[in-house]
Amino acid sequence: MSEKTHWKKFHNYDFLGAYSLEDGNDLTLTISNVSQEGVKGQSGKEETCMIVYFEEESKGMVCNRTNAKTIQTLNGSPYIEDWKGQQVTLYVEKGIKAFGTVTDALRIREVAPKKEIDPAQGISKLNGCLDLGELKDAWSSFNKDEKNNGELIKLKESLKNTLPK
């Protein structure tokens, strides 16, 4: 987790944005409802926008055409009433040209299925390390699910205390 704070965190924005995702990590949420609301744009002009709200978040997300089409594809329905309960993953897409500038955009994709991991391979890889440098390299090669596996975490911590530098 980052020790740094995005400057936009100090402003009370009404909606989620790319800055809302810590360190660019994905965020999986469940759609609770979709509405049309008046939103002030960057120029101060108010326009009507589609807003998607989520069960796990108090703030909604302004949903542009790109994200609406993605939700439709994932859900199999163009009707917003059918989107309730749909799980989606928010992520940051960098370098999007919008409103005469290049910016980061909040995007939606399918929820990645949780991978079943076999800790035996990870255990073998960690046990094969001859020093702390190799342990660090081995650990950094693991995916998120492997790094959250209790058995692998315990072994890594144990090896940290016994392997030479």
What is the model's pLDDT at position 1? 44
Q: What is the 3-state secondary structure (H, E, C) of the chain?
A: CCCCCCHHHHCCCCECCHHHCHHHCCEEEEEEEEEEEEEECCCCCEEEEEEEEECCCCCEEECCHHHHHHHHHHHCCCCHHHHCCCEEEEEEEEEEEECCEEEEEEEEECCCCCCCCCHHHHHHHHHCCCCHHHHHHHHHCCCHHHHCCHHHHHHHHHHHHHCCC
Supply angle C-alpha 122, 2, 142, rounded to 5.
10
pTM: 0.61
pLDDT at 5: 67
6 contact partners, CB below 8 Å, separation of at least 6: 19
Q: What is the pLDDT of residue 3?
A: 65
Other Cβ atoms within 10 Å of 16 Cβ, number: 22
The two three-digit tokens of residue 99, written as one number:
């409103």
Written as tens digits, the pLDDT of the chain (165 aa) is: 456 766 656 655 788 888 788 776 888 999 999 999 998 876 778 889 999 999 999 899 999 999 999 999 999 999 999 999 999 999 988 877 776 788 788 899 988 766 667 788 889 999 999 999 999 998 888 877 788 788 889 999 999 999 998
87: Cβ–Cβ under 8 A, 6 or more apart, which residues?
Answer: 28, 29, 30, 31, 111
